[in-house]
Structure 1
Amino acid sequence: MSFYQHHINYLDGTPADLSAFKGKALLVVNVASKCGFTYQYEGLERLHQRFADRGFAVLGFPCNQFLGQEPGSPEEIATFCRTTYGVDFPLFEKIEVNGEGRHPIYAELTQLPDAEGKAGDVGWNFEKFLLSPEGEVVARFRTGVEPEAPEVIEAIEAVLPS
């Protein structure tokens, strides 16, 4: 199934039409508000702003699977992200990224190996998956890779639509 065919809602509960993102390079990230890596929201937002006019978007998927670090309601998550980090990129409903309840989007994403050749489960919050404008998963960056790391920027620039 194509990334664009999955069913999911935005954080406010309205249905998302993922096909609206067709033709854009996307950085899909599982996010959390009470994590030691939450500061990465700043870098993600800067990426979103920096490349938005070149056909790029960051998509955030809150997840509470890692030590309960995203416990808030949709309203609390939205308010926290907007007021603390100025997040303007789309946020979707809270989902599971691992296990039996893994959302189908992440069942597809986690098939791609990271730079060390390891595929499978998401290791922690703020793991990043880069999709080409055609929806192909082309790169995977683990949590410790900063959003604005040279390898992330280089990968994004390589798949921006022409």
Structure 2
Amino acid sequence: MNDEELIADLHGRWVFGWERNDGDALFDFRRTFGEFYDFSSPDVRLYDDFDPEQRVATTAVGYGAIWEPAFQKMVSAHHAVDDGPHVVVGHDLAASTLIFVARVTMPDGTTDIRTTTSLVWRRTPEGWRIVREHNSSKKLPAGSLAHVLREPEVR
């Protein structure tokens, strides 16, 4: 597998790392994403506007601290890739973009979203790792993903 194919595979698997099913073990960011993020780089900048506080994490551990509480309360999260990944690879850096849709179910309700995600990967001795992340999400009308995710329509 060449670097472009490898990054495309990593980005695709990264999306589905966020999957949750009712009854799953507690979400542990490092256990789930240890092979994806650079946990030792001082250059990390990670952002997702789905975070209500719209924080920018400067470490992978800090990013995990943003998401672990919500994902531990989550009933389910189901994803489908809508476009991509599209990858550009250099010697030590690569960038990938991907659009996914997701249905996120919390105890108080369900939200359907469409997200554009851009990741910058750095080649490390351990492999390609995320050092930059930017996600922009748009909420969709309730139940609009039923046909995509093969789930019953939300009412």
**Alignment TM-score, normalising by the size of structure 2:** 0.30
Between 1 and 2, higher relative CO (CA 8 Å, sep ≥ 6) is seen in 1
Structure 1 or 2: larger helix share?
1
**Alignment TM-score, normalising by the size of structure 1:** 0.29
Structure 1 or 2: larger strand share?
2
